Amino acid sequence: MSSAETTALIVEDEPALRDELREMLQTLWPALAIVGVAGDGVDALRQIAQHRPQIVFLDIQIPDPNGLDVARAIRDQCHIVFVTAYDAHAIEAFENGAVDYILKPINPERMALTVKRLRQRINNAPADLSHLIEQLRPQQAKVPFMRWITASVGNSIRLLTIDEVVYFQSDQKYTRVVLADSEVLIKKTLKELMTELDPEQFWQTHRSTVVNALEIASIEPNMGGQLIVKLKNRREQLPVAESFVRRFRQM
């Protein structure tokens, strides 16, 4: 890496979105050096300290510490571009914060504008994000939990209550919504769903799976000692990844 290169770190825990962001940047800004990718706040802070990137593309909804906490920790060390699923209600806060943002799903034209702005700002001091972070925190807390799901089934639209769901599971760019006696696909990633689901009711068993706690019959170790979730209304069992074990041991 030459001293003249501009460096960037991507912080996004959804692999498909992370890859999409990297590909867009490689197309729009071939000279930009992506020095690393991180999937959670701890790894993000570690890599920022290690690589000292000039730019960080930072998803707000990453596992703790979340993106706002990471932004507060690094303060004015680098230029930050927030990657977010927030809607128009948060746009004013981003604009007033003199910092760029990308709304999901990512729009190539909007991404091109972000790259243009970054090239113009890269030699200036990074913006002070303190006020912006404080503005965004209340909006993050006020997002209502999901109560209904609509899914296309053939030529009709099926309306489901959230309590009908046994578990959600990633399926590439879609998510399987598994019910007691059937399942449907919705065009929303599990990552996006996690920002709308009540964390007291929906628990991750794995990066790709979230179970409705009301549908858990029991939690038991299998022959290899790994915890598995047995369901009330489905025969399959859901293995619990090591990083999510603590929540289930408290039951």
- Count other Cβ atoms within 10 Å, centred on residue 235: 6
What pLDDT, on a 0 to 100 scale, did the predictor assign at position 37? 96
CA dihedral 40, 44, 47, 52 (to 10 degrees): 160
Q: What is the pTM of this model?
A: 0.57
Radius of gyration of the chain from its Cα atoms, rounded to whole angstroms: 20
What pLDDT, on a 0 to 100 scale, did the predictor assign at position 171? 85
% of the chain at pLDDT higher than 90: 44
**90 pLDDT tier (thresholds 50, 70, 90):** low
What pLDDT, on a 0 to 100 scale, did the predictor assign at position 2? 47
Q: Is the pLDDT of residue 28 over 90?
A: yes
Q: Is the pLDDT of residue 91 over 90?
A: no
Q: Is 69 exposed, middle or buried (0-12, 13-18, 19+ CB in 10 A)?
A: middle
